[in-house]
């Protein structure tokens, strides 16, 4: 895992656009009215289907999803279950839908088992701009390509039911955009491995202090991150893959790992009451956090569920199946992608 984290590099935004533009064949047309922040209280519009009772692990009520490009897995009591093979896949917060961007730039949405696939939007960029679900599972934050990729990407939200695309009121310049766990805020990384936060419509953009700042007086430990992983509902905390500024950073593919949670107002680390080394911290719509960590030199993997005040509500060992083949011998060959009620 350390080699994977250390081996990534973020490009400038214009370089990202040039790279993905070569993969995109068509240009999007038309400009919709500015986007409003997606409501977090509306009823989900995902397909009605029978969902098995129970969950992935005894002691946790929900289902765990893992990803090893391009394969999406769901952990069941019987072990890892391959759901589908799809690049840049994401699971909706209600667990009833999966979205991904195919090699032709089509945004595809399926049911929880990878069936009933339908194209929702064309000219969507996947690499470096993975789709992000709103808290109510009705919208996706995406980036589209204009003029065959020669222009900066256009960020916006798409209505999963209708396919209507609405550009953000204020466009951003960055990679790996994420909505916060309640969908009212967003965060992203710059091409120089700094972090930004903004309102859900892109307005009120501000830089997270310290992280990525090249000034040694401000950032003496030279912390940087190209990889926001998850954002708390109020936007005050962000789980990130933090590394040293002058480390090689690899390509712009997402890294499904977070070794620290930071306060976005100060850039300082937020301590979490979990054992050992943190490898993932998923903020949930209800304000809770699911943390994946190791101790005993990595021999034991623990899943800890925290309440919105960061107190422990449940703690269970992660089944060995989550790190077994087909994900490989490493316990982290499959990254933790989602934890959902369905």
The per-residue pLDDT for range 236-248, each reduced to its tens digit, is 999 999 999 877 7
Q: How confident is the model at residue 155 (pLDDT cuts 50, 70, 90)?
A: very high
Q: How confident is the model at residue 145 (pLDDT cuts 50, 70, 90)?
A: very high
Taking 50 as the threshold, does the pLDDT of residue 5 lie above it? no
Q: How confident is the model at residue 325 (pLDDT cuts 50, 70, 90)?
A: low
The per-residue pLDDT for range 256-299, each reduced to its tens digit, is 999 999 999 999 999 999 989 999 999 999 899 999 999 877 67
Cβ neighbours, 10 Å, residue 34: 14
Contacts of 29 (CB under 8 A, 6+ apart): none
Q: How confident is the model at residue 20 (pLDDT cuts 50, 70, 90)?
A: very low
Specify the pTM.
0.84
Q: How far is CA 201 from the centre of its chain?
A: 18
- Please state the rounded mean pLDDT for residues 307-319: 95
CB 208 within 8 A of CB 226: no
Furthest C-alpha separation in the chain: 56
């Amino acid at each position: 895992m350390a080699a994977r984290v250390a081996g990534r590099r973020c490009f400038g935004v214009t370089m990202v656009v040039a790279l993905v533009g070569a993969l995109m064949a068509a240009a999007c047309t038309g400009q919709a009215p500015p986007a409003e922040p997606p409501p977090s209280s509306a009823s989900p519009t995902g397909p009605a289907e029978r969902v098995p009772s129970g969950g992935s692990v005894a002691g946790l009520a929900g289902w765990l999803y893992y990803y090893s490009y391009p394969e999406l897995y769901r952990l069941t009591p019987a072990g890892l279950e391959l759901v589908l093979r799809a690049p840049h896949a994401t699971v909706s917060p209600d667990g009833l839908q999966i979205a991904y961007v195919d090699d032709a730039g089509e945004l595809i949405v399926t049911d929880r088992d990878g069936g009933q696939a339908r194209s929702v939007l064309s000219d969507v960029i996947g690499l470096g701009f993975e789709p992000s679900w709103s808290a109510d599972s009705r919208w996706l934050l995406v980036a589209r390509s204009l003029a065959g990729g020669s222009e900066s990407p256009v960020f916006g939200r798409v209505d999963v039911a209708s396919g209507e695309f609405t550009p953000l009121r204020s466009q951003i310049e960055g990679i790996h955009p994420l909505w916060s766990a309640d969908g009212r805020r967003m965060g992203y990384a710059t091409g120089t491995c700094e972090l930004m936060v903004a309102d859900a419509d892109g307005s009120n953009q501000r830089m997270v202090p310290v992280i990525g700042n090249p000034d040694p007086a401000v950032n003496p430990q030279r912390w940087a991150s190209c990889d926001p992983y998850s954002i708390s509902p109020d936007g005050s905390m962000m789980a990130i893959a933090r590394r040293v500024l002058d480390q090689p950073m690899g390509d712009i593919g997402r890294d499904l790992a977070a070794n620290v949670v930071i306060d976005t107002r100060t850039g300082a680390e937020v301590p979490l009451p979990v054992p050992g080394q943190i490898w993932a911290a998923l903020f949930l719509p209800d304000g809770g956090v699911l943390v994946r960590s190791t101790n005993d030199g990595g021999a034991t993997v623990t899943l800890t569920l925290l309440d919105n005040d960061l107190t422990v509500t449940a703690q269970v060992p992660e089944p060995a199946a989550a790190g077994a083949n087909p994900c490989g011998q490493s316990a982290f060959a499959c990254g933790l992608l989602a934890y959902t009620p369905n």
